[in-house]
Structure 1
């Protein structure tokens, strides 16, 4: 059974650089930006939920896989994007959230996790078993990671049955960048070696055979390796293709497999283009999109301060700061430094730990109030120019409406446009 992802692989294998952007976010406005981008480009919207955001218990968003599916499909339907152009993915599915448990207990939950994603109709599954559980040696060896990945694939396949399983495309890999960016300041970052990548492939082949799933191998569409791209709180490590010359040849004998690049957030457009040209055909971006969303919403809050009486304002930045201080678990272990440095990081860090707080009830209510307040007004063009100059230019050209929601979504699309050009340089945009 064909997948929309197959054409990306086929183009790469035919020597035509093409890729697809993987939007890793659960925020409705980011998902809306991905849907609108797909509509305008004529491409597909690949939207992925991470195991932290969405799991069988609800994750930090409160959503289970079926809930996330319904959210994405609802936004697509509202905008008229056909569902056959929507691809749902699961990102970093594995025992990550249950590392404090024994390997057997953690893997039991990880298998239930991937089964829930498969049952909900997710057709791109990234298997991440690289995190040690209680009592495991660290780091895990390739054979252990591969064996656990094979167990998860078996759980997914058994859940949906042979016919539906033909729709699923898997992603494997043991050198997986930290979800959401590095937790500490970056040192020297080196690409995965070609030897390590070949070992990963070989160990997964053995594990597939041991679990009786050799027939799944042609549906393993991508291998995650580290092309030496990453970001931390203040710095971005840009892609340098001269360091990956040998690594790029590893998949030459894998007719159905390309590379998947994680942590591509904040890469310059030319670096994104080089990644796609060098066979990293799936470009994952997450914090970079919610970072852009925060820029847009805080800019709108600054406009609100100029137009709305003080008693009626949303005070969104203040609400965010208060709630992050009241519930510090998602940031305090990640942002070192003085109180002033931590304050700046809470708002402006590339790691964007703020993204975990958008589902908070008070913050969500303040966001709604902000958008409602400005929707009831006509934003003066000079104010729009001062705070969102790219959107001002598009409003002037008649390309977008001047409503606050349209402005926020379009600002997120400023990031997606760079990815689109890298994914398909012969098209004006790419989903």
Structure 2
């Protein structure tokens, strides 16, 4: 298998201990801080990625442009004592996705500006995703069209990196069978695995498009191919990885020197499935909603504890405020959640796609979250209540590995997810 850790990070010491790398796709500061804590304890580099809807040239839903995100993450790293040089920043699903309701050329002009902003800000890993049809496109794009648009974006990135004088050009992720960002919106029972021949054809057609634009040097920095290994989640169910179904696809890597597979939508996979994915060549594991789902679980558990300890007039009322804001501002969920009012209420909180994550920066919700943490920090949390609402954290408190402060409990709950990815990527003496 290609030494993806060295190619991405240049950290040969870490590469000797890692067989893959996980990617945290989140812009939430507590998630990023939890990830930094995990990487510090593991003494590994950390790959953080912002998605094209979180961070773009207009600000995205976080209000941050790419350069703002770099400053934001660097500020967190400095505060957490995490060496900036051990941070690898990536951009996920960069392309015309946010503007696919426009004619293709208009959407691609905006995608060009998006890529330019990411590359100029120093993002090292760029996922070029032109797989979605735009307003005047056919319902399904050919591989040739997707590859040509990706090559166009690569040329923009190369020019931007040269313009700002970056010592190294970006590394690229390509692919045409790209899972929907954030999980499927329809119910799933199975997911078709990418055919081996399709993976080979995808690489060939992209290589041709790169060559046509004189991007041979940039092609040497294509390190990953997004394919579908048969993993996905919808609102209420997870399709688990079945290694036997992807065995033919895994063998393709023998014919693609320098390239590994990047697995999207790995959220909620079982630990043994994540390990099997890395062993089978899916050496970049992406996780996004899974970590913010854990964040929401932690915050709502703390809100339940708050209800046990404090009178109604001094509580944060976080859960009620989140529900109110989501109903008042439904743009980030109403196209995705369907059914009766009762079903939509459940999905707003518990869906695996975790569209609550779009709302944590809302002023009222942010204020309630801070009040919740302050309330519990002031009063203290009894360990028997932690046992009731956060049982895994209860044992960590009992063992002395964390304290019972609300922030320790939040970080720990998020790290429960990240730790499984870290273990899947770790080199073991008896790894197959």
Query: TM-score, structure 1 length as denominator?
Result: 0.95
Distance 1:16 1:83 in 2: 20
Q: Which residue of 2 aligns with 1:367?
A: 369
After TM superposition, give the deviation of residue 212 of structure 1 in Å. 0.8
**Secondary structure, in 3 states, of the residue corresponding to 1:158?**
helix
Contact 2:265 2:286 in 1 (8 A): yes
Q: Deviations over 1:251-290 (max 9, x none)?
A: 2133321000000000000000000000100000000111
The aligned runs of 1:198-237 (5 Å cut-off) are: 198-237=200-239
Distance 1:167 1:424 in 2: 27
Q: Which residue of 1 aligns with 2:35?
A: 34
Aligned CA distance change for structure 1 residues 365 and 160 (closer, same or farther; 3 Å): same
After TM superposition, give the deviation of residue 164 of structure 1 in Å. 2.1
Q: Deviations over 1:343-376 (max 9, x none)?
A: 1111111111111111111111111111111111
Aligned CA distance change for structure 1 residues 17 and 64 (closer, same or farther; 3 Å): closer
Q: Which residue of 2 aligns with 1:92?
A: 93
Q: Deviations over 1:34-86 (max 9, x none)?
A: 11111000011111000011100011111111111112111111111101111
After TM superposition, give the deviation of residue 211 of structure 1 in Å. 0.9
Aligned CA distance change for structure 1 residues 381 and 15 (closer, same or farther; 3 Å): closer
Contact 1:23 1:47 in 2 (8 A): yes
Q: Deviations over 1:301-346 (max 9, x none)?
A: 0111122221111111100000011111111111111111111111
Q: Which residue of 2 aligns with 1:105?
A: 106
**Secondary structure, in 3 states, of the residue corresponding to 2:375?**
helix
Distance 1:250 1:357 in 2: 41
Distance 2:275 2:9 in 1: 15
Contact 2:174 2:224 in 1 (8 A): yes
Identify which of 292, 295, 298 aligns with 1:293.
295
The count of aligned residue pairs is: 424
The aligned runs of 1:126-145 (5 Å cut-off) are: 126-145=127-146
> Which runs of 5 or more structure 1 residues have no equivalent in the other structure?
none
Query: TM-score, structure 2 length as denominator?
Result: 0.94
Alignment of 1:249 with 2:251, yes or no, is: yes
Q: Which residue of 1 aligns with 2:125?
A: 124
Q: Which residue of 2 aligns with 1:269?
A: 271
After TM superposition, give the deviation of residue 193 of structure 1 in Å. 0.3
Aligned CA distance change for structure 1 residues 10 and 101 (closer, same or farther; 3 Å): same
Aligned CA distance change for structure 1 residues 3 and 223 (closer, same or farther; 3 Å): closer
Contact 2:226 2:262 in 1 (8 A): yes
Runs of 4+ in 1 over 4 A off after TM superposition: 2-5, 7-11, 14-17
